[in-house]
Chains A and B, each alone.
Chain A
Amino acid sequence: DAKTTQPPSMDCAEGRAANLPCNHSTISGNEYVYWYRQIHSQGPQYIIHGLKNNETNEMASLIITEDRKSSTLILPHATLRDTAVYYCIVRVPLLGGYNKLIFGAGTRLAVHP
């Protein structure tokens, strides 16, 4: 079962910031939050991840609440090419050093002119 909850769809105007929320109220202390996006018929693309501090890279910013029960992915200036399904994922450590990503249904972001 997915450990995250996301809205099924969102809209954003081109050039504006897209703020995608995610709830992960059952997250454990050592579990990271990852964000991926998927354009139709392609493999998921890694965007960013974090544990408890806010993170920023060339693609996006990740804001994690202090209690770690929710986070927000921010695309600062959305473009039409950012139209995709965005997955918020908790990375679960497994025995033997493996890790497991549990995917939910994601948020379908539509960026319009």
Chain B
Amino acid sequence: DGGITQSPKYLFRKEGQNVTLSCEQNLNHDAMYWYRQDPGQGLRLIYYSQIVNDFQKGDIAEGYSVSREKKESFPLTVTSAQKNPTAFYLCAATDNSYNSPLHFGNGTRLTVT
């Protein structure tokens, strides 16, 4: 079954702890993206990556870090420096040709207390 897998679905952490969200894809897509969604709002871009060992900051990268050691994996770490980490996090992938759609995973809902 091809697609994008995000795990876990729900994640709870105490304030001050770093937490890593998993994103795996078996679509063989080159580009991967992380978005954040807050209640009632659209998605905002955190980080994106086109190839292994390369990634770029999006619009709201502060307090986040990523790695791209394998084509199929793009984990996101929410650090203690992120002031408002509670949100719904979405991972996406595309082959990045000019008019190919992004395919999204089903998200991880992170709650920090």
Chain A interface residues (CB < 8 Å from chain B): 2, 32, 34, 36, 41-46, 49, 51, 87, 91, 93, 96-101, 103-106
> Which of B66-74, B77-85, B103-111 sits within the interface?
B103-111
A45 to B103, CA, bound (A): 7
Chain A CB within 10 A, most for which of B42, B102, B106: B42
The reply to whether B44 and A103 form a contact with Cβ atoms under 8 Å apart is yes
The reply to whether B96 and A97 form a contact with Cβ atoms under 8 Å apart is yes
The reply to whether B96 and A99 form a contact with Cβ atoms under 8 Å apart is yes
The reply to whether A42 and B101 form a contact with Cβ atoms under 8 Å apart is no
Query: How many CB-defined contacts (below 8 Å) exist between A and B?
Result: 59
Chain B interface residues (CB < 8 Å from chain A): 4, 6, 31, 35, 40-45, 48, 50, 56, 58, 88, 90, 92, 94, 96, 98-99, 101-107, 109
Cβ of A4 to closest chain B Cβ, rounded Å: 10
Report the nearest B residue to A95, measured CB to CB: B56
The reply to whether A41 and B107 form a contact with Cβ atoms under 8 Å apart is yes
